[in-house]
Amino acid sequence: MYPVLFEIFGFPISTFGVMVAAGFLAGGFLAARSFERAGLPGKAAWDMVTWCVVGGLLGAKLWYVAEQVARDGGASAFELLTSRGGITWYGGFLGGTILGLWAAHSSKVPLLTAANCAAPSLAVGQALGRIGCFLVGDDYGVRSDVPWAVAFPQGLPPTIDPATNEVFRVHATMLYETLWLLPVGALLWRRRARSPFLFGEYLMLSGIGRLVIESYRLNPILVGPFSNAQVVALVCIAIGASGWLWLRANPAAAATRAKG
């Protein structure tokens, strides 16, 4: 674990923050390339990615706080907001999507074009951000004895059994996501000129990964055997698949929406 990468004048620079910045730069570069390829200004892509990151971080934290306060009425919202860990991916996804599309609309970029151009960036940025989660020991999975399981004795929370004070190992689900999303990002980048709804493909592929990986996390069950995150993943898969099929069957409508 490397929660703090280095210090500047006594101010700690967290590895999570560095990896979020790396995801922002990589995502911004890819989005700008896609925007320019579509005849749109690269600056609009950077504006959109910036607001995606802001919305993602705010949404992830605020949703986590809301969940914890609803679950435990005695929880302090302020303490949760200022704590080092605690985020939810679906809150981040929702917040990032809303502010990202708002930024695209403000720049007069057609929303379908903006979403399609952003799809590879989202996968790559998310993959790099998850490396940051791994380095600070946050958002890991359930106990495991598989050879690649990892212990986080200083994690958020520490992987220490309170009854025995024994350090145990867990599934490094953050890295599972990284290993899934990087190839997804590469695939989407290769398909950006051929897909009728690239953002829909991102929703489907990232949703499938989330659906599987969440089975290795300990989360409250919401419906049947599915946790909150898995239900959101199923919704994303359904939206992505239905949108992709509809736009493929109606190429004229897809072209019209891509032009605004």
Question: Residue ranges per domain, the chain?
Answer: 4-258
**CB-based contact 142:218 (threshold 8 Å):** yes
Work out the angle between the directed axes of helices 111-136 and 42-71 (0-180°, nearest 10): 60
Q: Which residues of the chain have pLDDT under 70?
A: 1, 72-86, 253-260
**CB-based contact 141:173 (threshold 8 Å):** yes
CB environment 212-245: b (16+ within 10 A), e (fewer): ebbbbbeeeeeeeebbbbbbbbbebbeebbebbe
Per DSSP, the residues of 172-204 read -HHHHHHHHHHHHHHHHHHTTTT-S-HHHHHHH
CB atoms within 10 A of CB 38: 17
SS3 19: helix
Reference 122, options 45, 176, 217; nearest CA is 45
User: End-to-end alpha-carbon separation of the chain, Å?
Assistant: 46
- Look up the pTM and report it: 0.89
pLDDT at 75: 59
pLDDT at 85: 62
- In angstroms, the CA 142 to CA 199 distance is 31
Count of alpha carbons within 13 angstroms of residue 237, beta-carbon side: 14
CA distances from 209 to 177, 179, 245 (A): 7, 10, 20
pLDDT at 158: 92
Per DSSP, the residues of 93-135 read HHHHHHHHHHHHHHTT--HHHHHHHHHHHHHHHHHHHHHHHHH
Beta bridge partners of 151: 169
Structure tokens at 135: 């380095």
CB atoms within 10 A of CB 21: 15
